[in-house]
Structure 1
Amino acid sequence: MKLINKSMLTAIITLSTASVYYAQQTRDTVDTRSKDIEQVVITGVADLAKDRKTPVAVSNIKAAQIVERLGNQELPEILNTTPSVYVTKGGGGFGDAVIRVRGFGNSNTAVMINGMPVNDMENGAVYWSNWAGLSDVTSDIQVQRGLGSSKLAIASVGGTMNYITKASDKKKEGIVTLGIANDGYLKTSFAYNTGKSKTGWSSSFLLGRTAGAMYANGTNFESYNYYFALGYQPNEKHDLQFTFTGAPQWHNQNFTNTIQTYIKYGKDGEPNRKYNSNWGNLNGEEFSTNTNYYSKPIASINWDWKISERSKLSTVGYGSWGRGGGTGFLGSINGKTVFNLAKTADGQMRWDDIVRWNQGQVVSDFTVGNTTNAPANATPGIATRSNGLVRRAHVNSHDWYGILSNFQHKVNENWNFQVGIDARYYYGYHPGVVSDFLGNKEYRENLNLNSQPFYTVTQAYNAVPSANPFVKAIKDDSQIASRNYDGEVLWYGGFGQIEYSNDKISAFAQGSVSNQGFQRIDNWIVDGVTKQPSATTGQVVNRKTGFKDILGYNVKGGLNYNVNDQHNVFGNIGYYSRQPFFTAVYPNNQQVVNPNLTNEKIFSAELGYGFRSSNFRANVNLYRTSWADRFQRRTGLTIPDGNGGTFQNAYAEVNGITEVHSGVEFEGFYKVGQYLELEGMFSMGNWEYKGDASSTSYDENNNPINLSAGSNVATLALDGVKVGDAAQMTASFTAILKPVQGLRLYANWRYANDLYAGFNVNDFDNSRNTATFRAPATEFGALELPDFHLFDIGASYVFKLKSGQSFTIGANLYNLFDTTYISEATTNIHANQTRENFAAGTSGTTAYNNYIAAGQWNGISQQNQVYFGYGRTWSTTLTFKF
């Protein structure tokens, strides 16, 4: 099923207005001429830092750089040349990129579009596949590291990324773009801008399509993006902007495998970086265990009202309607989950054999370790939670409405203040459905307490987003499978800021307070029952929990001093009492409020120095951030089941985490002359856990996983362990050469070191499981991964026509020398372990023998679960401007 008919491809487009300027533009600092640090309202309520004014660590990426270097990379990857930013492709699926700022991940780095928050209101996550079209309409990305200058109570533990889109009143022009890249990647786009009329009206629009496959096998995708902006400026006092944008997409995903597995399916002892264990062929077509599909349009109305020469009111009302979800599996075959069934010789899923077994046929060698015929299905065509396999989809749809309003008044030349409100309402829909019966005729659901002992599901939903962005999240409640709950979040808050500025000094103090109310609604619960695992004996559990209100606040301030026209110094300090996410309020997806619920406490301080001259500019920053009482849900884990198999897509909930992140950052730009420019950055951090924590583990269907002594609770010895998932030392150097007019060449070197594996519930358990190894931090600590160097090159040339039209050709090569490197790891199995590190008895001996047999790769045990980075990839683009 296609989202848009192929006959419409002639209308496919992209609003990349800035692409015609990139031959002249470079990475720039923001305007330095303003006499105060009043809110920069480039679009609506966006809080953008000003160079040598706002006392925060900040970097800017212009549209020119995005157009020149992004190619077929994910949009966040353009930030990899920014200090203390580490972006990976995750599993490498379309839009699955993961970003960390100063060691803090997606959920704790605030992402905003024109000042509007877009982090998910239930878990803080940002799914970049939902914003696939953002790169085409972004005019500037500003990264504020640390607590930043935003007045809102947002998740800026690591930093804030504000994506500023193009306004509708750009000059009249149109653009057609064609892009091709490795693995069948194809992007076609068209855009048109009307310019502003004499009566104050303006509009812009885009349509675009991107499809093909990513670097890893089994990662086909298809994405569309659209954008419409309508502006009206009747006079100098009022400016209104309406925007509507979305990017419906589906893409197949990839998860970690052991290094041993990558080597098994590689050649000559080298890992197969393209290997993906999630897919195979079904009826001759690619079919994946995990397909993500989603459409998340967002609409906004911005109103800027210049009340007087001293007063201004900026307001934005917005709405977002997310529709879609992600697939997984229900059931098993002869006690084996889908991930533990035997594969083909090249490691692919045997989907056709699974269909045959579901229908009652005998399939040979179908379970791991079984070389004879596997027992036939006793109930052909009928799947349950314990017999037969169906692919399900967990729907994560939502309706989200919000309003932001900021009043600013300039008291005199030196003082001004701002006050405002931030109100949001979010309703999330989380049913489950069957997306493919795989040869079965029905699935019997037994978890709905309103329909016991079971009811029958016979309808399958395609894992493709609807072309209608407002479609109902689920059409038929009688066909829900796996789960059926809703989440409701009510957010309201206020903020204020006072500022002082003169030619030498600029200072601010700000604060905000917010109340977040969380309610969980389980549509399968009968009011008054006590059958939930997390409910204590005799405890009454209702379908609606009622709202759990939690108050949070933040206070922060900073000061910048301009020593002279070249030198400036600044400092800032802040404290957040931040509400936990929805998943922390209702752990294990149940109706019981977490008895240990507490706000997270974040304290941050920063010092900075800046230098500016006609040809050279540089920034140096020192920072320290402590983060206490943190709750984290880690998903996509692989956990041994104690019977020789594993739980795939398991998750762990970790309580009581404390982290301290400190470091130093440098960023510089040097214009050597008319033809050569140099950019560079260096950052070095020390990010560690302080104290221990506890965790509980569950499979993907919320069933507890026994870790040791019949319990799913583990004490994690985290004190002193390095924070993983992000390189604590990064460096980058870029040279831009402009030998002749219209031609730009660039080369980039990037280095990552002090990169540690992320922890999973197995890695730092103080106990000893009888079936597998545990690595207490006191013995080994976090696993340090090999450092790596990457090189990218690119070129672009603008052909200008006499008519004023132009063609632009661009090409990029990423990972020029095809370096093999590990970008992430999710386990901490060290290469210097001895027999005594393993449990006693036969199971410990088996685990140790497997560990020895696996051997090492680049000093890393091959039993570790990792993601390898992409090998050499390429992209080319042809753009026509008229």
Structure 2
Amino acid sequence: MIKGLISTVVFLGTVLCVSAQHHLSIKILDAETKKTLQGASVSLVATNTIHSKSNDKGVALFSNVPNGKYDLTASFLGYRSEKKQIDLMDDKSIEIYLQAQVIKTEEVFVQATRAKSNSSTTYKNLSKEDISKNNFGQDIPYLLDQTPSVVIGSDAGAGIGYTSMRIRGSDNARINVTLNGIPLNDAESMGSFFVNLPDFASSTESIQIQRGIGTSTNGAGSFGASLNIQSNTLEKDPYVEFNNSYGSFNSWKNTLKVGSGLLNNKFAFNVRLSRILSDGYIDRASSDLKSFYVDGGYYSDKQILKAIVFSGKEKTYQSWYGTPEPRLNNDIEGMKDYAINDGYTAAETENLLQAGRTYNKYLYKNQTDNYTQTHHQLHYTNFINEKITFNAALHYTRGAGYYEEYRPEDKLSKYNLPQVILGKDTISKTDLIRRRWLDNYFYGATYSFNYNPSQAVKLTWGGAINQYKGDHYGEVIWAQYASTSNLGDKYYLNDATKNDISTFLKADFTVNDWLLFADIQYRNISYQVSGDDDKIKDLDFDRKFNFLNPKLGFTYLINENSNLYASYAYASKEPVRDDFVDIIGNNPKPEKMQDVEIGYRFKNDVFNIGTNLYGMFYKDQLIPTGALNDVGSPLRLNIPDSYRIGLELDAAWKISNQFIWKATAGLSQNKINNFTDETSNEFFKKTDIALSPSTILSSEFSYKPVQAFEIALLSKYISRQYLDNSSAKVRSIDPSFVNNVRAIYNFAAFGIKNIDLSLSINNILNEKYETSGYTWGYMDGSSRKSFNFYYPQATTNFMLGLNIRF
């Protein structure tokens, strides 16, 4: 009987114990947007501590939790932690709202240059996760390939080395690029050369691409798009990471990253070392790239002080010349004709006849570009109070380098050298090797005050003051007949100074369901050049420009899932250095553009759709003629009347938990009104702008059978592009349709926090295609003789990645 009683008591105790264990569901949301937060940390503390993380629906689940009182803490990076006490007596569901906290994150550094959520600007954000999926060592433009209206390409054919990018038909001289709000565009060429920042993607937190004029406030004016790149933000936990890739063309990427995490709740440091090597798809188009990145920050409740230094050193074999059309078509007679018209040597002619699709004109073993660029940034933020924030940054960039080239049979007089007398012979030409140098400095300061007097009004006032100084000079380092030259003599020397001062005022107003936006920027540019250029003696000029660039827009919030927006912007932009050198008379005009954007956005748990109409109307647009100068830059000329109008789509569809389809489309007309072709003197009432395709489509179809594995098919279609402005099919690039496959497997093992195995197989259908090119020609009587050159892109190739994080 006693045994039975004991058994009954034990049984009842067990039942009571089991019945006293409950399920607890905690949903974590953003207090302002009411959106769920995935990956938030949640802990329950009684006698022991239990941890969980919120899932893709923002829910953290706890099972078999006994009765009792618990201290609950929810935290998420970029938000204030929330603590509360709960008394758990039965199953319970709780919602916790976290307040966004800009303190201890660096998003405030780019606040003045970025479009905000529901902005009346046409934009797309790429997160750190988006970037890391495709980061195999290729240049940053290749990470943007699946965004609307983008065309990318590479001189070497595979994305390592010199790369190009056009958005809405506008090249990188019209794309405003900032790094943490600091201008990256070269002050003279206006281009952004990502080859000088190898593997910067591994230190990038996010990228915002704004199409059209956008909200650009610092640096060169945006005439096609803006790229706003933010580097590493604060990581609270220490880490060590090894990123390695290997692939076709003997391509390697090796990256080491170390972070201290948040020390003493105030300090954090990050370091990255990178090396990228590739032989290139094109013959001899090799790349040897090295870089480092270091940052250190002080974080308090009221202030952030962060210093950043990053540097890149590149050595790339030149492949600027492209491949002649007859070489691609295996036209022997056409190749011989090219060789004669282009003044080929016997060795160059033999190389042309024997090479294949990967032809490279250059044969000299050290025909290389060599450049080192180091950036220094010091950022300071003061959260003066809940309504006012002050940001300031100092920056200093030091760049120096040269490209070396072999020159057969060059005139001695071109190098200010007298003729050489050998016996009775007078030598006026010589084979030689020269280096053309660029030695420059760029420094300045940016600032902004953010004043939010209420939830309905947000004001930003800021500006920048920058100065650029650059020396352009040339040296002869070897000559068959040396004449009177000495090593180190400069056969030309040209100094440039450019001052750029700007200020802007932005205002955002919320009135019921309307968001109103206004922005005005003033830029003052002073550009002085003196001395001899390689092409022009006494290239002296002093040009000043004053630009007033206003922007207006509104967004109407239809409901919590959708909105309509419209904007108008006006911008002006100065010519680049090459325009002053290459345009007859050396007096190019500044460009002016009006940009109209009208769009619609919709987002819920299944669909994310953005579509927009745009019109960009130019006065005196500097458009490419189709030809290049002697260093591979496009020759341009002012056109009085031209425009780009189009429709863009950026959409994603979550078909199921396993299948997601993303797609973009860019349909456009890019036209010049009343154009006369300089070569043929033919008049066109309306004609296509060079290198501006009318259709650009992309698709990314991904399948995730389990959480740890994803495989995706990425496709890109680009319609016909014309090499010049005559809309002639005989001088054009054929349409292309390229497909890539990407697979990623993520897991943890052997005590390692995270292991990523990734594989990218590019151009799986072995498409033979080009995305860029140029042409030149002349009239032979009544017929036109044209010489077309293209930049072939790699056939089927692969990259394999292994990333390990402790």
Question: In which range does the TM-score fall when normalised by the shorter chain?
Answer: 0.7 to 0.9
Listed one character per residue, the Cα deviations across residues 371-397 of structure 1 (whole Å, up to 9, x for unaligned) are: xxxxxx9869x998x512222221122
1:320 aligns with 2:397: yes
Aligned to 1:642: none
Listed one character per residue, the Cα deviations across residues 638-677 of structure 1 (whole Å, up to 9, x for unaligned) are: 8xxxxxxxx8969745234542000000111112222222
Aligned to 2:85: none
Query: What's the secondary structure of 1:275's corresponding residue?
Result: coil
> Structure 1: which 5+ runs fail to align?
1-17, 19-23, 338-376, 445-454, 460-477, 526-531, 535-540, 639-646, 696-706, 708-713, 765-776, 830-836, 852-862
Contact 2:221–2:571 (CA under 8 A) maintained in structure 1: no
Contact 1:153–1:553 (CA under 8 A) maintained in structure 2: no
Q: CA deviation at 1:149?
A: 2.0
Number of aligned residue pairs: 686
2:440 to 398, 401, 406: 398
Distance in 1 between residues matched to 2:661 and 2:388, nearest whole Å: 42
Query: What's the secondary structure of 2:734's corresponding residue?
Result: coil
2:617 to 607, 623, 626: 626
1:519 aligns with 2:519: no
Aligned to 1:479: 489
Listed one character per residue, the Cα deviations across residues 582-632 of structure 1 (whole Å, up to 9, x for unaligned) are: 444x43599xx84x5533211110100011111211000000001211345
Aligned to 1:877: 801
Query: What's the secondary structure of 2:133's corresponding residue?
Result: helix
Distance in 2 between residues matched to 1:864 and 1:803, nearest whole Å: 57
Report 1:779-858 matches (<5 A). Answer: 780=728, 783-801=731-749, 803-827=751-775, 839-840=780-781
Distance in 2 between residues matched to 1:152 and 1:51, nearest whole Å: 17
Distance in 2 between residues matched to 1:421 and 1:648, nearest whole Å: 34
Greater relative contact order (Cα 8 A, min sep 6): structure 1 or 2?
Answer: 1
Distance in 1 between residues matched to 2:802 and 2:186, nearest whole Å: 35
Amino acid at match of 2:362: W
Report 1:401-416 matches (<5 A). Answer: 401-416=443-458
Distance in 2 between residues matched to 1:318 and 1:44, nearest whole Å: 13
* Worse overlay, 500-509 or 786-795: 500-509
Contact 2:582–2:635 (CA under 8 A) maintained in structure 1: no
1:240 to 297, 305, 328: 305
1:299 to 376, 386, 391: 376
Structure of higher CA gyration radius:
2
Query: What's the secondary structure of 2:230's corresponding residue?
Result: strand
- State TM-score, norm by structure 2: 0.78
Amino acid at match of 2:359: N
Q: CA deviation at 1:330?
A: 4.2
Greater fraction of residues in strand? 2
Distance in 1 between residues matched to 2:608 and 2:265, nearest whole Å: 42
Contact 2:190–2:220 (CA under 8 A) maintained in structure 1: no
Amino acid at match of 1:487: A
Contact 2:699–2:716 (CA under 8 A) maintained in structure 1: yes
Amino acid at match of 1:227: Y
Aligned to 2:473: 431
Query: What's the secondary structure of 1:308's corresponding residue?
Result: coil
Query: What's the secondary structure of 1:44's corresponding residue?
Result: helix
Quick one: structure 1 residues 802 and 140, their matched pair in 2 at CA, closer, same or farther if it must change by over 3 Å?
same
| RMSD of equivalent CA atoms | 3.7
Aligned to 1:554: 549
Distance in 1 between residues matched to 2:623 and 2:482, nearest whole Å: 33
Distance in 1 between residues matched to 2:98 and 2:202, nearest whole Å: 29
Quick one: structure 1 residues 239 and 635, their matched pair in 2 at CA, closer, same or farther if it must change by over 3 Å?
farther
1:66 aligns with 2:131: yes
2:506 to 480, 497, 504: 497
Contact 1:262–1:271 (CA under 8 A) maintained in structure 2: no
Amino acid at match of 1:550: F
Aligned to 2:711: 745
1:158 to 224, 230, 236: 224
Query: What's the secondary structure of 1:260's corresponding residue?
Result: helix
Quick one: structure 1 residues 278 and 802, their matched pair in 2 at CA, closer, same or farther if it must change by over 3 Å?
same
2:675 to 666, 689, 692: 692
Query: What's the secondary structure of 1:56's corresponding residue?
Result: coil
Quick one: structure 1 residues 41 and 569, their matched pair in 2 at CA, closer, same or farther if it must change by over 3 Å?
farther
Quick one: percent identity of the two aligned structures?
17
Query: What's the secondary structure of 1:225's corresponding residue?
Result: strand
Contact 1:318–1:403 (CA under 8 A) maintained in structure 2: yes
1:578 aligns with 2:573: yes
Distance in 1 between residues matched to 2:633 and 2:148, nearest whole Å: 33
Amino acid at match of 1:497: K
Contact 1:383–1:443 (CA under 8 A) maintained in structure 2: no
Amino acid at match of 2:602: F
Aligned to 1:768: none
Quick one: structure 1 residues 588 and 783, their matched pair in 2 at CA, closer, same or farther if it must change by over 3 Å?
closer
Listed one character per residue, the Cα deviations across residues 90-118 of structure 1 (whole Å, up to 9, x for unaligned) are: 45384321111111110001111112111
1:142 to 205, 208, 226: 208
Contact 2:615–2:644 (CA under 8 A) maintained in structure 1: yes
Q: CA deviation at 1:44?
A: 1.2
Contact 2:776–2:788 (CA under 8 A) maintained in structure 1: yes
Q: CA deviation at 1:404?
A: 0.6
Amino acid at match of 2:693: A
Contact 1:45–1:404 (CA under 8 A) maintained in structure 2: no
Q: CA deviation at 1:272?
A: 6.8
Q: CA deviation at 1:422?
A: 0.9
Distance in 2 between residues matched to 1:578 and 1:734, nearest whole Å: 35
1:734 aligns with 2:700: yes
Aligned to 2:5: none
Query: What's the secondary structure of 1:135's corresponding residue?
Result: helix
Listed one character per residue, the Cα deviations across residues 2-61 of structure 1 (whole Å, up to 9, x for unaligned) are: xxxxxxxxxxxxxxxx9xxxxx999xxx999999x9xx9605144465565211111122
Quick one: structure 1 residues 190 and 138, their matched pair in 2 at CA, closer, same or farther if it must change by over 3 Å?
same
Q: CA deviation at 1:813?
A: 0.2
Aligned to 2:163: 97
1:253 to 318, 321, 335: 318
